[in-house]
Chain A
């Protein structure tokens, strides 16, 4: 029932609208007198369109420059109009004292030109037309656009590649510079470490030569002074001992350097890391205590018993751990209650070994260089500065792990060793 009512209502409304349009049609006050087409490139107004034809005129793509002429049928002197091109304009355009309207460069498509006077109830006169042609269908348009897109992409891509190349070049140069820097530091370290024992060897051997000369002179004498001879021989003996001792030291430095070059000697094997740490901890403590008899350290080892066995070279990792422990002991030598705490734990796919001491700690300047070869804060002859550097190489290069150092001056140092499982 409701449906029928709405149908009847809409029918009535449509009827009223049609009737009103019909009534208005006879009230058109404006007449479109002529429509000319043209092209601003070739010439404007080159042809006329038959406005009386029944068909909707079709205009070529280059006939899209249109001029509409119109007049007021009732009062021809009145030249105020409103026009509107359906398909282009957004609103009615008011034109005073005019009888023409022009449109240029119309796109392809259907249009309706409407024009009316300003009088109330005036029905607009209309002219429908169609402009052919779409630029997309022109063979040259898409290739031309593509050419431009390619040019932009090509230039952009080229500079991107060039930028990446430049960044790589800069990176390589930086690496080279760092290498040269560490090489010069290494050379300076070697020179410094070798200079001392060599000085001793040179001085003591020089003194020995003089003593032998004195001894020869004494033997040449008719009366031998046995006391003097004995004294001279003793001195020569002492000198030889010193030469031997410093020669050994130089040899130790060279051996240390060789250790660096002889990485990964030994076989990778599944190793219980907790056991290895415990062994090395005890060994380092006993070795350090022998040379520093008053040093008594409290050792704490908190091991994670669930740790899996690691595929490592036990000799190498043992050596690295021994060096770290020795450094920690040295940092605590002057402290009343030295304590070294070692913890092992599993974290994701790696094993973390935390070595914490309550020693002197390090300032940032020292901490940054702690893994550099031949860098040492100890007095000459007390250390080569290769221990932590060797440990670093074994852990990172030899086993693909990581070693980090955190330190607070006066509070202690924490070394964190991470080894992949």
Chain B
């Protein structure tokens, strides 16, 4: 199997791996709280866009890049927003999310003109990393009675940080591709594995939700 085939296979496999946390989410649906329901919502959107991309050849994948960035922004803003207890801070955070959506719109229409979604994707990924980082940082400092790794949100945030920090490197992939296709393909193989790990973390967070309720 050539590197290209392996990268394509793993990329597709990692994309459809979203089905695993969704299955967990639906299986433990009655145990999930608002936060995990939001995660299910985000995962459904991800799966839907994959299916649409598969069955439709009309929409260009470049446009899809922007749509994916917007979906990620909406899901993560709502998800992390749930963990912020202060109303003022939550509103500020939601506002940042809205501003980011506006930026994606402006970027797609006026800056990169639907030709390169790399900048929007990069900024969204950095936003997700910073939000998840702040959220986990906060979780580590409060609620000492509860074991930190028994909290679903911690696993979700770890998954988001891991995947998006690694994924933000994608912005440089086009530049690197001029020099070495192999390097980029190797990166995509790793990114696919990282994405699989993220979905495993999400699945575990759903499993934890029922475990916590049973306890």
Contact = CB atoms under 8 A, between A and B. Distances in A.
A135 B173 CA distance: 12
Contacts of A268: none
Contacts of B60: none
B13 to A, nearest CB: 22
Interface string B125-157: 000000001001100110010001000000000
Which of B2, B137, B161, B179 has the most C-beta atoms of chain A within 10 angstroms of its own C-beta? B179
Interface stretch (B76-84, B180-188, B202-210): B180-188
A144 B183 CA distance: 14
Contacts of B181: 104-107
Contacts of B165: 148, 151-152, 155
B2 A138 contact: no
A166 interface: yes
Contact of B140 (A104, A144, A163): A163
A64 interface: yes
B51 interface: no
Given A90-B2, A152-B165, A107 B140 contact: no
Interface string A146-183: 00100110010011001101100110010000000000
Contact of B179 (A138, A148, A169, A170): A138
Nearest to A161: B140
B140 A162 contact: yes
Contacts of B179: 61, 107-108, 133-135, 138
Contacts of B176: 135, 141
B108 to A, nearest CB: 20
Contacts of B169: 148
A99 interface: no
Contacts, number: 55
A272 interface: no
A159 B136 contact: yes
A185 interface: no
A222 interface: no
B133 A41 contact: no
B172 interface: yes
A144 B137 contact: no
B178 interface: yes
Contacts of B184: 105
A218 interface: no
B144 A170 contact: yes
B86 to A, nearest CB: 21
A151 B161 CA distance: 11
A169 B140 CA distance: 11
Nearest to A152: B165
A285 interface: no
Interface string A38-81: 01010000000000000000000110100000000000000000
Contacts of A64: 178
B174 interface: yes
Nearest to B132: A155
A108 B180 contact: yes
Nearest to A144: B172
A61 B169 CA distance: 21
B99 interface: no
B128 to A, nearest CB: 13
Given A152-B165, A163-B148, A135 B180 contact: yes
A163 B151 CA distance: 14
Interface in B22-79: none
Nearest to B2: A90
Given A105-B177, A105-B181, A107-B181, A159 B140 contact: yes
A313 to B, nearest CB: 40
Contacts of B183: 107, 135
Contacts of A166: 140-141, 144, 148
A212 B172 CA distance: 103
A231 B177 CA distance: 115
A108 B137 CA distance: 44
B137 A155 contact: no
Contacts of A62: 178
A39 B144 CA distance: 56
Contacts of A163: 140, 148
A131 to B, nearest CB: 9
Given A107-B179, A133-B179, A41 B174 contact: yes
Given A108-B180, A158-B137, 19 more contacts: A61-B179, A62-B178, A104-B181, A105-B177, A105-B180, A105-B181, A106-B181, A107-B179, A107-B180, A135-B176, A135-B180, A138-B179, A144-B172, A151-B165, A155-B161, A162-B140, A165-B140, A166-B141, A169-B144
Q: Which 9 A-B pairs have the closest CB atoms?
A: A105-B181, A135-B179, A107-B180, A162-B140, A105-B177, A62-B178, A170-B144, A135-B180, A166-B140
Interface of B: 2, 133, 136-137, 140-141, 144, 148, 161, 165, 169, 172, 174, 176-184
28 contacts: A39-B178, A41-B178, A61-B178, A61-B179, A64-B178, A90-B2, A104-B181, A105-B180, A105-B184, A107-B179, A107-B180, A107-B182, A107-B183, A108-B179, A108-B180, A135-B176, A135-B179, A148-B165, A148-B169, A155-B165, A158-B137, A159-B136, A162-B137, A162-B140, A163-B140, A166-B140, A166-B144, A170-B144
